[in-house]
Amino acid sequence: MANPPNIVLLVLDSVRASNVSCYGYERPTTPQLDRLMAEEGSLFEQAIAVGCWTLPVHASLFTGRYPSAHGVTLAKDALPEGSATLARRLGARGYRTACFSNNPYVSESTGLTQGFDTVEDLWRNNRLHGAERSRASARLKQLERRGGAARSLARAARLVKRPLSILKTWRRWRSHADSGAKLTNERIREWLASKDDRAPFFIFVNYMESHEGWKSHERYNPPRPYNRRFLGRRISFWRVARLTSTQRGASKRRHEEDLEITRALYDGAVNYLDDQVGELMRHLDSIGVLDDTVVIVTSDHGDSLGEHGHVGHRLYLYEQLVHVPLIVRFPARFAPGSRIPHLVQLCDLHPTILELAGDGGTEASDFKSLLGAPDAAPHAFVVAENTAPKSLDNVVMHMVRDERFKYISSSHGREELYDLIEDPGESRNLAGSEPSVQREMSERLREWESALEPARLESEEAEYDDETMERLRGLGYVG
Amino acid sequence: MVAIGIDGVPYTYTQRMLHAGEMPNLRAIVDEGALVQMDTTLPNVSSVAWASFMTGKNPGKHNIYGFVDRRPGELRVFIPTARNLRSPALWETLSEAGKRVFAMNVPVTYPPRKVNGIVVGCFLSPSAEKAAPTAEVAAALKRLNYCVDADPWKARQDKDGFLAHLDEVFERRVEAMRYFWSQEPWDFFMAHIMETDRLHHFFWEEMEQGHPKYAPAFLDFYRRLDDVLGEVRSWLDEDVTLLIVSDHGFCTIKREVYVNTWLHEAGYLDYANDDASTLEHMAPSSVAYSLDPGRIFLNVQGREPEGRVAPGKEYERLRDEIAGSTLAMRDPDSGERMVDRVYRGEELYHGPHAAVAADLVLSMHDGYDPKGRFGSERLTYKDRALVGMHTTPDALLYIGGVERIGRRPEITDVAPTVLDLLDVPAPADMDGRSLLA
């Protein structure tokens, strides 16, 4: 075989399939993807992420294991140093590898950037609020917890802080300044220019504009003019700044309008990233490497934009959160313009990339290469996990889904079953009314769990569950 | 070699049982080897003691200091598990030398690490399934109805029910032991019995006082344990060495002692709110706090998130001051002294992980059980259900086939001794030394 191809893996953080226009969205959010990718590449119509937030999904993408198997499932977990990550394995095959991350969860502290020759921590210098709350608000929270006068002080400080923060957002709202995806692409161009050998390259990028911010008034914050692109003319910045994070205290109409604005901002962010991806593709073309490069555009998970009463992610395993776009452009192996209807796991990318790079691979992978996917469905069913227990009263969720049914089982005993053909909005829980389907689906989940090879990658700090804690308490070992 | 761990079984108590003729199988075993009293770690809790047993090292090298520990840079605690054990366990060293090993339920082996053989996780496992290293072992444990640990809350609700439950858990554990023993000719096989420790925690006082119902039940349990030891003895060919180990002794609790209450009353510990119940509620103005059992940490600048004690002179001065005044701590009811000795961290621990150790460790007089509860209004308390506490100098060690053990062993001496018996070189950084030498 000739030289292995270059690989460019672009993750548009939190972008769900349903808001991408080549996936049938009514707004023209992604004209570049529609043309450069979908027309010239293969579009996977039903790609399902293994989880609903950044950390476990990226860890799965890089290790080829389900979250329960790699164990990096809580914000404090890290992939142990020395793991056989995708970057490390590609590096061993002569690839030059670079990671451009705008998301702090993809960084040295989580062990996810290990194995890359170059790591650009773009999350350090961009102005998006990523995963961490600011120190100041953490301080205020501490102060508030103390109670008494400290609490009043904290509240007063908050009253001052909010207008200041809105003012800051306003400045950004008015400016074209862009320290996110645009800067990221600049760095990628520089890196490609500085690469002075003919070795194949692997570039991983996480773009963050489509990720929600911490504060409700800067929930999605694409730069001008994308911020206004899908927003009605009558909506002023001040109305945007008054977005509330919850329905509490808001009228139904006001709440509906809040969601509409949120969707418009999100779509603007997707549209912005689409332009940036198009720009990067043109650059790869202009330096003459595009056709030797596998370009993959996808996301790590989706986002809820009001569906099921939620905005954001990390909570549930409904389609909005797990159905992600997946488009691969590499005409030599993926038929241009093809649409693959089969269910696939997003993390099938792991063995796919290794296979394209000529790594036969002896390490176990939980996933299957997509190179055979056009002809045959690689999975009879797909699985996703919500393994961040703290986010939902310590509830762990597992989801199994085939072409028609989705079954979700939660550790607190709740079961959900949806017929995705009859009820794509997952609003009618059939658990209890379709016992044979339910039994079959839960049996599949059990089979999947028992077939899962035990965790060989161990996160640095083990979780312990409440039951263990309770036992230790019962013995008087823990206060 | 076969090793049986009997958690919390005191040397002195087994001597009593042997003299009374209550444990005929153990008697026969002891006649074939040497049974001695052994010193354990401080704190004398299972997680620390067994970690030292399996690594042959002090906590400064293996990194396990208690059932809970601080997250670095945060005022939050977590439960250390095998992932925090920073040193190879005995069976890992044996694995590397090509031996086939089996270890079941030894604290701290959850989550089970990879070996040439099988490690079944300890009582920290959330479930039997998670204690298993592979799906195959998980299926076997499920079939055997294996139970990770007895539920201590049963003991608090219903003592009789708990006894039955404890028997059941013990029986299933022995069943699993038999099953895995029959699977292959292991080079090293170890099974750990936790039920003795649980029995002691809830019935030690009744046993000592000769309670009409529970003292005989206690004795009964020991007879069953003796039967199991006899059964194990019957499995062994002449060339197999039997080892029996416990990790600490036991005594009756006179009073639980809430060290944080003492620190609070002495002005060293402030709470950020009125209903403080965890370390997170400590106010930044605090000088010191305590975690289970009897470990005192100063609130040090640069180490604790909002530390106030400056390292260096101020730290030494305050540490001396607290060490001195804890010694004067007295039981408010009887007037007895409660603290026997105070150790500075560096007196007990050395090695790459010594920096995370407590600044002071209390060694209590028997009967005073130090607790790390935050926000308690009482200094001392007598719990009706939980009646037994661990002691340091009364663990036991039995080695078959040897005439005598020449010196008083420490728990870290066991691992190098096992390696010696199996002709595998001991890692150079082990603190213990082979008892055969």
Return d(Cα B5, Cα A467) in angstroms, integer: 24
Q: What is the pLDDT of residue A130?
A: 36
Q: What is the mean pLDDT of chain B?
A: 93
Q: What is the mean pLDDT of chain A?
A: 84
For residue B45, list chain A residues with Cβ-Cβ distance below 8 A: 477
- Give B298's pLDDT tier (boundaries 50, 70, 90): very high
Q: What is the pLDDT of residue A457?
A: 40
Q: Out of A145, A458, A471, name the one closest to residue B149 (CB).
A: A471
List Cα–Cα distances, B361 to A398, B234, B256, B277, B297, in angstroms. 44, 43, 16, 22, 9
Asked if A476 and B372 come within 8 Å (Cβ–Cβ), the reply is: no
Angle between helices B195-209 and B159-181 (to 10 degrees): 140
Q: DSSP letter for B271, please.
A: B
Give tens-digit pLDDT for A364-403. Answer: 678 988 987 777 888 889 999 987 654 556 678 999 999 9
For residue A468, list chain B residues with Cβ-Cβ distance below 8 A: 79, 124-126
Tokens of B4: 């049986």
For the segment B167-176, the average pLDDT, to the nearest whole number, is 96
- In sequence order, the 6+-apart residues with CB closer than 8 A to the CB of B250 are B8, B10, B13, B200, B204, B388, B389, B390, B391, B394
Percent of chain A predicted with pLDDT > 70: 84
Return d(Cα B108, Cα B121) in angstroms, integer: 8
Which chain B residue's Cα is nearest to A458? Answer: B83
Return d(Cα A112, Cα A105) in angstroms, integer: 8
- Give the torsion through C-alpha atoms of B295, B297, B303, B304, to 10 deg: 110
For the segment B96-104, the average pLDDT, to the nearest whole number, is 93
- Give A250's pLDDT tier (boundaries 50, 70, 90): low
Instruction: Kindly report which listed range (A430-439, A450-459, B34-43, B249-258) carries the lowest average pLDDT score.
Output: A450-459
Give tens-digit pLDDT for A184-224. Answer: 999 999 999 998 788 999 999 999 888 877 555 567 878 88
Instruction: Kindly report which listed range (A124-138, A325-339, B221-235) carries the lowest average pLDDT score.
Output: A124-138
Give tens-digit pLDDT for A280-297. Answer: 999 999 999 999 999 999
- Give A405's pLDDT tier (boundaries 50, 70, 90): very high
Tokens of B265: 């009353």
Asked if B153 and A476 come within 8 Å (Cβ–Cβ), the reply is: no
For the segment A168-176, the average pLDDT, to the nearest whole number, is 69
Q: What is the pLDDT of residue B181?
A: 95
Give tens-digit pLDDT for A81-100. Answer: 777 899 988 988 889 999 99
- Give the torsion through C-alpha atoms of A276, A277, A278, A283, to 10 deg: 90
Give tens-digit pLDDT for B367-423. Answer: 999 999 998 989 999 988 899 999 989 999 999 999 999 899 999 999 999 999 999
**CA distance, residue B135 to nearest chain A CA (Å):** 6
| CB–CB contacts below 8 A, A to B | 91
Q: What is the pLDDT of residue A458?
A: 45
The H helix count followed by the E strand count for chain B is 15, 18
Looking at the DSSP assignment, which residues form a beta bridge with residue B156? none
Give the number of other Cβ atoms within 10 Å of residue B238's Cβ.
6
Instruction: Kindly report which listed range (A265-274, A450-459, B337-346) carries the lowest average pLDDT score.
Output: A450-459
Asked if B155 and A460 come within 8 Å (Cβ–Cβ), the reply is: no
Which chain A residue's Cα is nearest to B151? Answer: A471
Q: What is the pLDDT of residue A62?
A: 96
Q: What is the pLDDT of residue B265?
A: 94
Return d(Cα A477, Cα B244) in angstroms, integer: 25
- Three-class SS state of B94: helix
Contact criterion met (CB below 8 Å) for A99 and A123: no
Q: 263-292 in B: which are within 8 Å (CB) of A?
A: 272-274, 281, 283, 292
pTM of the model: 0.56
- In sequence order, the 6+-apart residues with CB closer than 8 A to the CB of A234 are none
Residue B302 has pLDDT above 50, yes or no: yes
- Three-class SS state of B5: strand
Q: What is the pLDDT of residue A479?
A: 59
Return d(Cα B163, Cα B176) in angstroms, integer: 20
- Give A313's pLDDT tier (boundaries 50, 70, 90): confident
Instruction: Kindly report which listed range (A305-319, B23-37, B209-223, B379-393) carries the lowest average pLDDT score.
Output: A305-319
Q: Which of A173, A183, A229 is nearest to A207 (CA)?
A: A183
Q: Which of B348, B359, B394 is nearest to B57 (CA)?
A: B348
Return d(Cα A346, Cα A51) in angstroms, integer: 10
For the segment B267-293, the average pLDDT, to the nearest whole number, is 91
Residue A314 has pLDDT above 80, yes or no: no
Return d(Cα A216, Cα B245) in angstroms, integer: 59
Return d(Cα A295, Cα B243) in angstroms, integer: 61
Tokens of A470: 């309770």
Listing DSSP states for B171-195 in one string gives HHHHHHHHHHHTTS--SEEEEEE-H
Asked if A458 and B111 come within 8 Å (Cβ–Cβ), the reply is: yes
Q: Is A455 on the interface with B (CB under 8 A)?
A: yes
For the segment B288-309, the average pLDDT, to the nearest whole number, is 92
Residue B116 has pLDDT above 60, yes or no: yes
Return d(Cα A382, Cα B331) in angstroms, integer: 62
Q: What is the pLDDT of residue A246?
A: 53
Asked if B126 and A465 come within 8 Å (Cβ–Cβ), the reply is: yes
Q: Is B28 on the interface with A (CB under 8 A)?
A: no
Return d(Cα A131, Cα A104) in angstroms, integer: 6
Give the number of other Cβ atoms within 10 Å of residue A467's Cβ.
14
For the segment B63-84, the average pLDDT, to the nearest whole number, is 86
Return d(Cα A445, Cα A442) in angstroms, integer: 5
Instruction: Kindly report which listed range (A15-19, A140-144, B80-84) carries the lowest average pLDDT score.
Output: A140-144
Q: Is A447 on the interface with B (CB under 8 A)?
A: no
Asked if A479 and B79 come within 8 Å (Cβ–Cβ), the reply is: no
Q: Out of A461, A471, A474, name the one closest to residue B83 (CB).
A: A461
Contact criterion met (CB below 8 Å) for A406 and A386: no
Residue A134 has pLDDT above 90, yes or no: no
- Give A1's pLDDT tier (boundaries 50, 70, 90): very low
Q: What is the pLDDT of residue A77?
A: 76
Question: Which ipTM did the prediction report?
Answer: 0.74
Return d(Cα A40, Cα A277) in angstroms, integer: 14
Which chain A residue's Cα is nearest to B69? Answer: A478
Percent of chain B predicted with pLDDT > 70: 100
Asked if A464 and B78 come within 8 Å (Cβ–Cβ), the reply is: yes
- Three-class SS state of B207: helix
Residue type at A48 in one-letter notation: I
